[in-house]
Structures are given as structure tokens and as C-alpha cells.
Homo-oligomer: A and B are copies of this chain.
């Protein structure tokens, strides 16, 4: 397992913000559940959301203590530290008017969810919050919400757009990458939500090199040293000397050599079927690498999820602020039942604190 460095948490510094997520999904109830289960970890954080939605979520949680958890309405982010543990601090950045129907896609829920994310991104860009943890969005609801929300396939693109606007740049000039991490393994993806055919086309020299560089920068901060980066091949056996594909020889190996020339601790390309096993850290044995660069979505996500998804955390690398999220969706099928597990959200908070030092 990765050694967890003790968290330096400057009381009174910029707090950490959590977004509401889609109000009709499990977001609100896992947020309340997180405050009930781990009040010390959650101290110095707040939700950007709608107090009424969180009160409704508190009412469905099992157990008297969670059920009665008070919602503390803030006037400003800085008040987060003053809220005693055992409350749910909320900055009311949206008001839904009427409460959402659990599990129902709606434009108003999508719009509210989007507005909370945009607010959190801007607060982070202004330096008012130290990190952003996002509860799950529903893509259909975001799409139903119309402009500008409908244009974003998900969180990553919305956050990237806010960061680019803040810097006065095009979105293309603000490249980001998705990292998936649990207690044993970290993996950063060269591409995410595209077909496998398109993912092969996305394996380009500049894109692979950029992924290595973004990973190096982000993990150098998190680890306090240069990360040891393993780069996976694209083809079986990493192409077996060109026998099963040439991308390793023509694209990936040159990108790794260029990263090395720039002083980065990158190695590869390695056979994909064993590189994740070699990088895996357990209590018995530290992994041979701190992170694996995966050439496509499932190459990286299959090993991260293989041992169970409860502790998986999604991290966006390359933004000018720390952003993490749980590794699951809105789970409309169980929303409002009080049975959703807040473990991945809590892991996302822990990871955000570690990455931002807050």
C-alpha cells in the first residue's frame, strides 16, 4: 500500500469544497453520510450546493445520528473552519425551488449540478478553496439543462473550460489527463472516452510525452519527489519487436526517450499484461513504479477496478487546482434509499488533501 504521509492541515487556510452532484442521484446522501462517518477528516470542508437538498438527503440516511445531522448554512467559504464537526456546512450557491425526485433525470437538477461545479472551479481559480471534490453528475441531466451545460460531456471538460477561460487560453492549450488511483495502484490515461479504434489513433508522440510530463508534475507535488513512471505498450507483449504492431517502436519508445532526455524517471514501453502487476504496491511489497501510463481507458481501469471499486478515486491532472472525485456515477437506481456507500467519496477527500496539502 502507498504510505500515507501525515496530513498537514493549516486550520483557517483555504478550505476544500465538495460539489453537490446531481441532486436526484446519490451525491447528496453520500455527502451527508461522509460528514456523519468521518467528521474529523471532513472538518475544514464544505458543500457548494442547496441546503434543502442536503436536508432531504440527511432524512433518508439510516441511523439516528446521521438522520439528525444539522445542515449549517455558510455566508462565505472561509467560515468552513468555524463549523464544528458533526454538521454539514453548505454554501448555498444554488436553490432548486422544489426538491428533486430521486432517480429522475431533470433539466433543473442538471443545471443545479453544473452551476455548483462552475462555482467550485472559479473559487479554486480565485484561490478561495484549496481543492475541489466533485460528487457525480448525470450526463443526460446535464444535456437536458441546455447551454452552456449541455456542451460538456462531463466534469473534466467543464473544469478544463473554466481553467482555460480564467487563463485567457483555448481549451486545447490546457491539456488535462485522468488519473485513477486506489491504495495499491495509480494509472494515468492517454485517452478516455473514445472508441478503442480512436484510442489507437490518440497514441501520438506529443500526446504520450504530454501525459508523462503532466503525470510527472502532478505526482512530484504529491510525493515530494520525482515519481517513477512506467509506460505501458499498446500491443500484446509491447509489440514483441514489431511483430504485433509498430506503435511501441515508432511512437511510445521515442516519447519515453524524450521524457528521459528531459530528466524524467520514465521507463518503457512495457508489456501491458504485467506492468500493472509490477507497479502494484501491497503491504508486503512496494510497487516497482509510482504510476503507470496507460495507452487507453480499459488498459488502465481494468487493473485499478479489479479488486473492487469502493476505494477508487478519479483525479484530474493538469488543472491549476486539485480536483478529485469518487470513481462511480449517480446510481439513480438506488438514490434516496440511504444505502449508497460514501467510501469512494471519502477516499477522494483524502486524496485531495494529500495532493493539495490542505
Contact present for A277 and B195 (CB under 8 Å) = no
Contact present for B303 and A306 (CB under 8 Å) = yes
Q: Which of B193, B236, B243, B280 contacts A297 (CB 8 A)?
A: B236
Residue from A243, A272, A273, A308 whose CB has the most chain B CB atoms within 10 Å: A273
Instruction: Report B-chain residues with C-beta under 8 Å of the C-beta of A193.
Output: 236-237, 240, 243-244
Q: Assess A309 versus B245: contact at CB under 8 Å? Given A200-B196, A298-B272.
A: no
A244 to B194, CA, bound (A): 5
Contact present for A298 and B236 (CB under 8 Å) = yes
Contact present for A274 and B195 (CB under 8 Å) = no
Q: Which of B195, B245, B273 contacts A197 (CB 8 A)?
A: B245
Counted per complex, copies of this chain come to 2
Q: Assess A195 versus B297: contact at CB under 8 Å? Given A274-B305, A277-B307.
A: no
A193 to B242, CA, bound (A): 12
**A276 lies within 8 A of chain B by Cβ:** yes
**A15 lies within 8 A of chain B by Cβ:** no
What distance in Å separates the Cβ of A78 from its nearest Cβ neighbour in chain B? 40
Contact present for B196 and A245 (CB under 8 Å) = yes
Q: Which of B194, B199, B239, B309 contacts A195 (CB 8 A)?
A: B239
**A72 lies within 8 A of chain B by Cβ:** no
Instruction: Report B-chain residues with C-beta under 8 Å of the C-beta of A277.
Output: 305-309
**A301 lies within 8 A of chain B by Cβ:** yes
**A302 lies within 8 A of chain B by Cβ:** yes
Considering the complex, give the chain B residue whose CB is closest to the CB of A184: B306
Interface of A is mostly: helix
Contact present for B302 and A272 (CB under 8 Å) = yes
Instruction: Report B-chain residues with C-beta under 8 Å of the C-beta of A306.
Output: 276-277, 280, 303, 306-307
What distance in Å separates the Cβ of A233 from its nearest Cβ neighbour in chain B? 9
A245 to B305, CA, bound (A): 22
Considering the complex, give the chain B residue whose CB is closest to the CB of A243: B193
Contact present for A299 and B297 (CB under 8 Å) = no
Q: Which of B197, B198, B299, B309 contacts A302 (CB 8 A)?
A: B299
What distance in Å separates the Cβ of A143 from its nearest Cβ neighbour in chain B? 12
Per-residue B-contact encoding for A190-231, CB less than 8 Å = 1, 0 else: 001111111110000000000000000000000000000000
Q: Which of B198, B243, B273 contacts A298 (CB 8 A)?
A: B273
Contact present for A197 and B200 (CB under 8 Å) = yes
Q: Which of B199, B244, B273 contacts A301 (CB 8 A)?
A: B273
Considering the complex, give the chain B residue whose CB is closest to the CB of A195: B245
Q: A residues touching B (Cβ–Cβ < 8 Å)? A: 192-200, 234-237, 239-240, 243-246, 272-274, 276-277, 280, 296-299, 301-303, 305-309
- A-B pairs with the 6 shortest C-beta distances? A195-B245, A273-B301, A236-B297, A272-B298, A195-B244, A195-B235
